[in-house]
Copies of this chain bind each other. A is one copy, B any other.
Amino acid sequence: MAKLPLYAAGFMAPFAILLIAAAAEDTALLKQAQGIFQPLPKDMATAEFPITRERVELGRSLFFDPRLTIDASMSCSSCHQPAFYGTDALPKPTGVKQRPHPRHVPTNLNAGTSFVIHWRGDRTNLEDQVFQALTSPITSGQPDEKAVFDRLARIPGYPPLFKAAFPDDPQPITLRNIATAIGAYERTLVTPSPFDAYLAGNQEALPPTAKAGLEKFINTGCVACHNGVGIGGGMYQKFGVVEDYWKATGSDPIDKGRFDVTKDPDDLYVFRVASLRNVAMTPPYFHDGSVATLPDAVKVMARVQLGVRLNDADTGDIVAFLQSLTGELPANFATAPVLPSGFVVPAK
């Protein structure tokens, strides 16, 4: 600041008071945020699913290896692409043999923070998701688990990696162990963001627009569902609480959500609440990728969940907050591993 003549001090006192009041408000917002959200842990290991170096190394190779699928054309990373923050930039992906997937790809980054996996919660955890994907007709196309094992056993580099990761198993190449290894790898994929630094107490980590957006995100009621460590991912919720969702999204067909899993009328149009971490990097949005841009997605949510019509300015602030949830890509995800060499003739 330039030097000011003394008489200016009196003139500026009211501004100083305003600044102090603003600082107090900022601190109140931080405290409020700390009560609603939690920063990311350093990984997502649990007592049931511990992380070992050997399992992560094996899981990382398997994650990037297309040779597990029927025509050796797709890997986990075909849909969960590093270049798109673990998504594929499509409304809905296409699986092996041009078979369509029914729903949009959720990112695998920080996915271990979710209480269940998949839009309808029909996978209990990361390992269950992998386990079922390995013989899914859309994701894998393999007829049975034996076909998967045959592939791996014929790539000379893999059996030693399995042995190292599961030293107590006489036959370590099993669907369960593949799932455990890929799960262990995925449990390392956390993306701490400016918002985590903010939650840790660094008020400078967020620009003023993001703080304004955070306040609006809280006061509009978004945090009723989008809270906790994932800023979402902690509960089920009906999509379209105050208005049918498809009227705002243009969705076609209309997905009944968890109802199709449980047949419970209370689950009609119910989905797992999505984590908003890295949401700015993963368009398009919702279970069917029906909305292309983040501002539109924010407006749809406010409208159909909370009955609020957000204007462009408030939407922009909330988007600025959501952008503060973008973290850096983990190095062991951004960089592809060199896969065990050795060719396997794909099934016709």
Within 8 A of B (CB), among A247-286: 280-281, 283-284
**With A66-B89, A89-B67, A90-B72 as given contacts, are A343 and B283 in contact (CB-CB < 8 Å)?**
yes
On chain A, which size bracket covers the interface? Answer: 35 or more
Q: A71 within 8 Å of B by Cβ?
A: yes
The complex is assembled from copies of this chain, and their number is 2
Q: Of A119-127, A131-139, A332-340, which stretch is located at the interface? A: A332-340
List the B side residues contacting A337 at CB < 8 Å.
Answer: 83
Q: A346 within 8 Å of B by Cβ?
A: yes
B98–A336 CB distance below 8 A: no
A336 contact from B83, B281, B289, B338, Cβ within 8 A: B83
Q: A170 within 8 Å of B by Cβ?
A: no
Within 8 A of B (CB), among A42-95: 64-67, 71-73, 81-85, 88-91, 94
A61 vs chain B, min Cβ distance (A): 8
A20 vs chain B, min Cβ distance (A): 39
The residue of chain B having its C-beta at the shortest distance from the C-beta of A280 within the complex is B341
A343–B72 CB distance below 8 A: no
List the B side residues contacting A82 at CB < 8 Å.
Answer: 336
List the B side residues contacting A81 at CB < 8 Å.
Answer: 66, 336
A338–B329 CB distance below 8 A: yes
A342 vs chain B, min Cβ distance (A): 7
Residues of A within 8 A of B (CB): 64-67, 71-73, 81-85, 88-91, 94, 97-98, 280-281, 283-284, 289, 292-293, 329, 334-339, 341-346
